[in-house]
Structure 1
Amino acid sequence: MKHSRNMELPEDFWIPIALDTDNITALSPFLVPQDHLAGASTYYSMAVYMLFIFTVGTTINVLTIACTVQYKKLRSHLNYILVNLAVANLLVSVVGSFTSCCNFISRYFIFGPLSCKIEGFMVTLGGMVSLWSLAVIAFERWLMICKPLGNFIFKPDHALACCAFTWVFALLASAPPLFGWSRYIPEGLQCSCGPDWYTTNNKYNNESYVMFLFGFCFAVPLATIIFCYSHLLITLKMAAKAQAESASTQKAEKEVTRMVVVIVLGFLVCWLPYATFALWVVNNRGEPFDLRYATAPAVFSKSSAVYNPVIYVVLNKQFQSCMMKMLGMSGGDDEESTQSVTEVSKVGAA
């Protein structure tokens, strides 16, 4: 069902004008099931998916943090950033996915307007930390392999400073809707909350906030990731060409190439739908759209709580080995992981 947007705005939520009702409070997403927006099967399907994201995302990220605490060999500068990413993902899965699951089951936002603002803020905060952590990981690998600063060594103190930066910037990016620059309201099928992309009320200056988020919290991290990994690939390909007789160098170059492709694709799958939808709404005011399509970007962004740890942690042989040992399985030896990292470093230094 397609809807356009109304200009008479309730304080805490938004109702499409196409519903043609004189009593919008009667359709409040905080009071009644939103069955006028989609069928029950759609809500229950979303509930099942959110339960999956909550269960898997929480499990993987808790294991990541627990492994790092238990095994000293995981406490490297890069892994500090991976733990920072895990904490951000955990915030999204525990607060965002769990809340959305409960709401989709009930078919409306059962926790009330205040909880909506809290959930919107916490999920946006975790999402921004996650985005910038991905950019920091790319930056760290660029410094380590491409060595643009010569013999500069990326130390644990630098990693901790980068982690602190992600939280400070994320806080500056996610707090404004709490103080009047945009606002947090139910989005899509009204079962999760996020920044107000939809309305044109000058009181909240939503358009400028959307452009701010797109520029500094999507475009800049994406550009950083593409720049760093592009230079990394160029460096490795040049080294591999110079060492064509080295099978290990060729293997390292291929592994890193696959890693870069997966990382960039994972980033785009998680965040491009959300950024694209927000920009489309801002630049097409008054155009009708299906609210189910408005829900999909929010769902994809919350899915990053699973995608990110799978890409960055579970596929990391060292983390994988420690997780298996922690779970009582045969973790094997992580010499292959250490050898791979060493080989990539040698390639970069060549």
Structure 2
Amino acid sequence: MRGTRLLELPEDFWIPIPLDTDNITSLSPFRVPQDHLGNLSTFYTMAGFTFFLFVVGTSINALTIACTMRYKKLRSHLNYILVNLAVANLLVSVTGSFTACCSFTFRYFIFGPLACKIEGFVATLGGMVSLWSLAVIAFERWLVICKPLGNFAFKPEHATACCVVTWIIALVASVPPLVGWSRYIPEGLQCSCGPDWYTTNNKYNNESYVMFLFCFCFAVPLATIIFCYSNLLLTLKMVAKAQAESASTQKAEKEVTRMVVLMVLGFLVCWMPYASFAVWIVNNRGKTFDLRLATIPSCLSKASTIYNPIIYVLLNKQFRTCMLSMLGIRDAEEEVSTTQSVTEVSKVAPA
């Protein structure tokens, strides 16, 4: 990129502009292609990637919801949370990925300032619900398998309450930019919208909002996931040691360990770049950076609409069987009970 200077317009956007440009309005990300930020191949590559996220993410998550509505056997308490996750992913896919695809195709945010605020809010809302749903899933597994509360039974009403809480927390996190604590503006290559990580305008208190999101909506869910799955793995290892002669228990321990590693890695791949970038921006005000690189964390977070259902749904035998049946790939439904690994672990888990 050629030499730039930073420019902030108070209400709608923040952009780096070429040093030899004086006509600010002519470079508005709501009016003209942002070709000074990247070449055509960069924009079209991102358009293709976000189109892929939109098509695949929408399909997988919509199918998850449809299967749950059709098959009663999928309406367990854990699957309530998976459906909650699918709804959140669907919001991000339909709103965030679709608008980004269209905007990358035209090389600027074609929908205007109001749509930018709406898209930023809805994508942030869905992302926060997704983050906290992953934490709830980990918490539920910890309660069921490790039994820290003894014989406490995690019932459907508990799962429903947890889903409601994820939406309340997400609203607490996503509404502030609409009412003056930070704001939603175009980010990266100016073709998608999100919270304002970039500016130091005291009117919006962006730094405090970024740190709030990092601590409350990234660090806390991550700590919950690590704590719950670490204890789950320790419990499984004790079970495997106690049943050393049981081949099925040893197999279950390996499978669950592999699944936990995938879950934690998926969380980190989707959200660590975005959270790290936001904190870096806050703590390195005035330093230059390439907005093409700033677009990558945003796209990785949107890619969670595919990663999450692959890890949590498609690798779930019940969901996978019902999806194949619904798509006509199987001739008849295959009754699938709760996995043997969970049953065996639950029987010998400490009370």
TM-score bracket for the superposition, by shorter chain length? over 0.9
> Mind listing any 5+ residue stretches in structure 1 that lack a counterpart?
none
How far off its partner does 1:2 sit?
7.2
How far off its partner does 1:334 sit?
4.7
* Alpha-carbon spacing, 1:182–1:339, altered in 2? closer, same or farther (3 Å): same
* 1:311 alignment partner in structure 2: 311
1:243-273 Cα offsets, whole Å, 9 max, x none, are 1111111111111100100000000000000
* 1:268 alignment partner in structure 2: 268
Correspondence 1:56-95 to 2 at 5 A:
56-95=56-95
RMSD over aligned CA atoms reads: 1.6
How far off its partner does 1:15 sit?
1.7
Q: Matched residue of 1:6: which SS?
A: strand
1:34-82 Cα offsets, whole Å, 9 max, x none, are 0000001111000101010000000000110011000000000000000
Amino acid of the structure 1 residue aligned with 2:349? G
- 1 CA distance for matches of 2:349 and 2:325? 32
How far off its partner does 1:164 sit?
0.1
Correspondence 1:197-236 to 2 at 5 A:
197-236=197-236
- 2 CA distance for matches of 1:196 and 1:155? 40
Contact 1:197–1:206 (CA under 8 A) maintained in structure 2: yes
> Mind listing any 5+ residue stretches in structure 2 that lack a counterpart?
none
* Alpha-carbon spacing, 1:187–1:165, altered in 2? closer, same or farther (3 Å): same
How far off its partner does 1:342 sit?
2.1
1:78-128 Cα offsets, whole Å, 9 max, x none, are 000000000000000000000000000000000000000000000000000
* 1:136 alignment partner in structure 2: 136
* Alpha-carbon spacing, 1:273–1:127, altered in 2? closer, same or farther (3 Å): same
- Higher mean C-alpha deviation, range 100-109 or range 327-336: 327-336
* 1:277 alignment partner in structure 2: 277
* Alpha-carbon spacing, 1:308–1:118, altered in 2? closer, same or farther (3 Å): same
Amino acid of the structure 1 residue aligned with 2:244? A
Percent identity for Structure 1 against Structure 2: 77
- 2 CA distance for matches of 1:205 and 1:121? 17
* Alpha-carbon spacing, 1:139–1:2, altered in 2? closer, same or farther (3 Å): farther
* Alpha-carbon spacing, 1:284–1:5, altered in 2? closer, same or farther (3 Å): farther
* 2:39 alignment partner in structure 1: 39
Q: TM-score scaled to structure 1, two decimals?
A: 0.97
- 2 CA distance for matches of 1:63 and 1:276? 32
The number of residue pairs the alignment matches comes to: 350
- 2 CA distance for matches of 1:163 and 1:10? 36
Q: Does 1:341 align with 2:342?
A: yes
* Alpha-carbon spacing, 1:237–1:4, altered in 2? closer, same or farther (3 Å): farther
Q: TM-score scaled to structure 2, two decimals?
A: 0.96
How far off its partner does 1:155 sit?
0.3
Correspondence 1:1-350 to 2 at 5 A:
1=1, 6=6, 8-330=8-330, 333-335=334-336, 338-348=339-349
- Higher mean C-alpha deviation, range 91-100 or range 21-30: 21-30
- 2 CA distance for matches of 1:98 and 1:111? 12
How far off its partner does 1:346 sit?
2.9
- 2 CA distance for matches of 1:276 and 1:2? 26
- 1 CA distance for matches of 2:19 and 2:60? 42
